[in-house]
A and B are shown apart, each in its own frame.
Chain A
Amino acid sequence: MEDKLSIVAKSFAPSPIQELSHLAQRCNAINLAEGFPDFPAPSHIKHAAISAIHSDFNQYRHVQGICDHLAHIMKQMHGLDVNPLTDIAICCGQSEAFAAAAFAIIDKGDEVILFDPCYETYEGCIKMAGGVSVYVPLDPPHWTLDPNRFINAFNERTKALVLNSPHNPTGKVFTKDELEIIAEECRARNCLAITDEVYEHITFNNAKHISLASLPGMKERTIITSSLSKTFSVTGWRVGWAIAPAFIASAIRNIHAKLTDSAPAPFQEAALIALGSPPEYFESLRSDYESRRDYIVNLLARIGFKIQFKPQGALFLFAELPENCQLSDVDYVKMLIQQAGIVAVPGCGFFHADLSLEKLSQEGCCYRERYIRFAFCKSDQTLASAAKKLGQLSDAAGCLNLR
């Protein structure tokens, strides 16, 4: 009965991130793989959810107040004028917002440009909507954008591009100049953009998150997607949104209504409290994560990892394997699980082969198996345990000895 699967479903492979997570669970490993916190969500937000459940906010609903808050935040952060009545769709997480956005704008055969390395899920949504993903590699070690390579990726079939900044897995925050290059091409080509800004409030060392939509000529062609998950450490609540020009937002709302119909009601209520958090909350979010970033950068550098690019935002360190290490990223992670009791994600899952672009040289290509993504959205205790375990396996020179 295998033929009963749709063509699209058959082409999907199981998620490498989730598989390693299962292995890690079996080995009881310290999880530095998946991007969710192991420390509690903020109390004031949990209380809001509990209060909502008690107060019978448990039936289908759309909480308009969320849109009001978001419009205010978009104005404060980016100078964007968003109409809370027409420009916002509340969805079950950024995941659903992105899926609905893809269904809203992508027709069969449309091409969508993505930057590589890349979060694995975008391609699946694009494929389901009938689109074709086209990857533009960013250049290591600093993951810079090559303007010519970018421009050459466009053709008459290009419908949209996807921009994730702050970026998973590298922690890159796209600069104003890079955004100008992207915007210029979108305007010239009459192309749409879907952004994933879930890490919008997590930036370090004064790196500023700039929303692509705030650039000239971009608001009318950009769909912003984001959620509560990373900002408020509630990845399991599934409250997210899409912000777009009114008729696209309307289309997304209508699609969302047929995909899930409503985001979880009590958590929408709690979102009102979350989104109304004072500036101090966001400040301490930033500084707490910055300390964690520093901790893990130092830790891994000490054991020989090459860290030429410190994350400027998001929750991940994309670290290059030690110079003398001959293992591939996957083999390294397997040994890390089995011997050090720590799990991380091999970077190869974030790189995508793309035959339509210039062929990178053999040497140029092999960096794709040299990176490992470590999540640092973990408690101090977890990070300290990880440090201890790695310390036990290091030799006198401080380099990790995996057998």
Chain B
Amino acid sequence: MQNKFTWPSHEMRLGPSTFLNFSKHFCADFNFIRTGRPSSAPCPSFSAAMSAVPTQNDVVSGQTESTQKTQQPLQVAKRLEKFKTTIFTQMSNLAIKHGAINLGQGFPNFDGPEFVKEAAIQAVIDGKNQYARGYGVPDLNNAIAERFKKDTGLVVDPEKEITVTSGCTEAIAATMLGLINPGDEVILFAPFYDSYEATLSMAGAKVKGITLRPPDFAVTIDELRSTISKNTRAILLNSPHNPTGKMFTREELDVIASLCIENDVLVFSDEVYDKLAFEMDHISPASLPGMYERTVTMNSLGKTFSLTGWKIGWAIAPPHLSWGVRQAHSYLTFATSTPMQWAAATALRAPDSYYVELKRDYQAKKAILVEGLKSVGFEVYPSSGTYFVVVDHTPFGLENDVAFCEYLIKEVGVVAIPTSVFYLNPEDGKNLVRFTFCKDEGTLRAAVDRMKEKLRR
């Protein structure tokens, strides 16, 4: 496999106490993956295990089948180095311990709209509790097609070009596994949602990263031109962008499109925040000339309707690409939650007023957070979309993003997410942390108050 055998350095910097719940079994599997030999000593500290990480060559030559076989039956797969307990869980656990206000994990602390919840309840009552058609309940596929037409003008066949999945996360996994071969080159913009790297590694892809940098996280066109080639299989786009809130401009998308067409590259487009586009209109790459035939457009219910736990997502793509997505999907989860699909069809037929109000509410929340963060002393980078804001924490004198977040939880009582986990090279994120404003206004004000009171430059 072509993966780097490095761990994000923040995992080394966090003290051993943070890993109390994880260290024992993590240490065990580290040793197995790396050396094929079980730990004979009591569980070594995390940083000791880190320093024992060999290079890629070492692992390939050092681990023979016979070495594995004669040892304990603890043979996890080599792909697992990308599958760690997430930073979100770690931060949330720490937050609970310290009673901190959680502006880290990206889900609302308010609920979804009544009309959608009622639709789900009605579906349960009506007995829609058995397997749905693998690629989606027909009515939902239709509703997705209708919404897509409204949003992009594109007309798609709901039967052949739409696949319903357990959230956009599964759409991404199914797209990677269905369309990427081991060794294929895939371009990724860093920072990125943390499942991308993991699922690319599952598919055995060779990842080429292009880093987006503050203050505007603009695409460096020259770097893109030199990275993309006839060897590139796909490029992964996420706009509006998690974690920065950047939205890819028409100019950027035109350049990306022309390079993709020239080099016959696929586009995997994660658009889950498309309805949270504040500073400019959202553009779906699939809607650009020559792009539909090579694009998988992915989205979900969760962010738009504040129902992140329902896990309803979808992938829209021309039939030949959808077929690959569907194959992988059928072996990953087989079918998606039936009553929620029925409710999702109702949700997607919501009138425009729903979306107008959604944006207005989030804009008000954003204003509270952004003004608060600025007044406290952060350098706040402009966020055009999503419900995230990325800030530079260095005015507060901590050495990196993880240290800052730990300090923020323990001393101030607020949670943010260190962004280093969203980069291929964690160093790129050490000055930046991400806050979310998908919380009720009271929570946002309380968090801002805590920071004003306790956070000193």
Contacts and interface: CB of A to CB of B under 8 A. Distances in A.
Interface of A: 1-2, 4-10, 12, 15, 18, 34, 36-38, 40-41, 46, 49-50, 53-54, 56-61, 85-86, 92-93, 95-96, 99, 103-108, 121, 124-125, 128-129, 156-157, 159, 190-192, 220-221, 233-238, 245-248, 250-251, 253-255, 257-267
A233 B309 contact: no
A251 B169 contact: no
A53 B121 contact: yes
A35 to B, nearest CB: 9
B181 A7 contact: yes
B345 interface: no
Nearest to B121: A50
Contacts of A262: 167, 308-309, 311
24 contacts: A1-B318, A1-B320, A6-B203, A8-B178, A9-B323, A15-B330, A46-B125, A46-B129, A50-B121, A50-B124, A53-B120, A92-B333, A95-B333, A103-B77, A220-B73, A234-B129, A236-B335, A247-B76, A259-B332, A260-B169, A261-B311, A262-B167, A265-B309, A265-B310
A99 B170 CA distance: 12
A236 B132 CA distance: 6
B119 to A, nearest CB: 10
Contact of A156 (B69, B179, B320, B338): B69
Nearest to B203: A6
B179 A6 contact: yes
Contacts of B202: 103, 255, 258
Given A59-B308, A106-B77, A258-B173, A54 B334 contact: no
Contacts of A245: 74
Nearest to B1: A108
B76 A251 contact: yes
A79 B111 CA distance: 41
Interface in B25-76: 25-26, 28-29, 65-66, 69-71, 73-76
Interface stretch (B82-90, B365-373, B382-390): B82-90
B334 A267 contact: no
B337 interface: yes
B309 A5 contact: no
Contacts of B232: none
B233 to A, nearest CB: 8
Nearest to B84: A254
**Central interface residue in A1, A49, A85, A236, by most chain B CB within 10 Å:** A236
B76 A6 contact: no
A159 B73 CA distance: 10
Contacts of A235: 129-131
B160 interface: no
B392 to A, nearest CB: 28
Nearest to B339: A236
A95 B334 contact: yes
- Most chain A CB within 10 A, of B65, B77, B323, is at B77
Contact of A107 (B70, B78, B111): B78
Contact of B307 (A49, A58, A236, A258): A58
B117 A258 contact: no
Interface string B218-237: 00000000000000000000
Contact of B128 (A156, A236, A265): A236
A59 B309 contact: yes
Contact of B26 (A50, A124, A250): A250
B73 A250 contact: no
Contact of A59 (B69, B107, B132): B107
B129 A236 contact: yes
A54 B79 CA distance: 40
Interface in B317-339: 318, 320-321, 323-324, 327-328, 330-339
B129 A6 contact: no
Given A1-B321, A251-B76, A6 B309 contact: no
Contacts of B308: 58-60, 262
B293 interface: yes
A221 B72 CA distance: 9
B430 interface: no
A193 to B, nearest CB: 10
B25 A266 contact: no
Contacts of A37: 130
Contacts of A156: 65-66, 69
Contacts of A121: 330-331, 334
Of B130, B310, B335, most buried by chain A (CB within 10 Å of CB) is: B130
B108 interface: yes
A1 B438 CA distance: 40
Interface string B286-320: 00000001100000000000111111000000101
Contacts of A254: 80, 83-86
Contacts of B166: 92, 96, 238, 260, 264
Q: Which of B133, B169, B339 has the most CB of A within 10 A?
A: B339
Given A58-B111, A262-B311, A264-B309, A4 B266 contact: yes
Top 6 A-B pairs ranked by shortest CB distance?
A265-B309, A236-B338, A247-B25, A124-B331, A254-B83, A95-B334
Interface in B340-365: 340
Contact of A103 (B24, B69, B79, B84): B79
Contacts of A10: 324
A9 B327 contact: yes
Interface in B96-138: 105, 107-109, 111-112, 117, 120-121, 124-125, 127-134
A192 B69 CA distance: 11
Given A2-B320, A236-B130, A248-B76, 16 more contacts: A6-B203, A9-B328, A49-B339, A59-B107, A60-B105, A92-B311, A93-B335, A95-B332, A95-B335, A107-B77, A129-B77, A157-B65, A248-B74, A250-B85, A251-B77, A263-B311
Nearest to A121: B331
A61 B308 CA distance: 9
A56 B202 CA distance: 34
B25 A34 contact: no
B83 A60 contact: no
Contacts of A264: 166, 309-311, 337, 340
Contacts of A1: 293-294, 318, 320-321
Nearest to B114: A54
B177 A8 contact: yes
Nearest to A158: B69
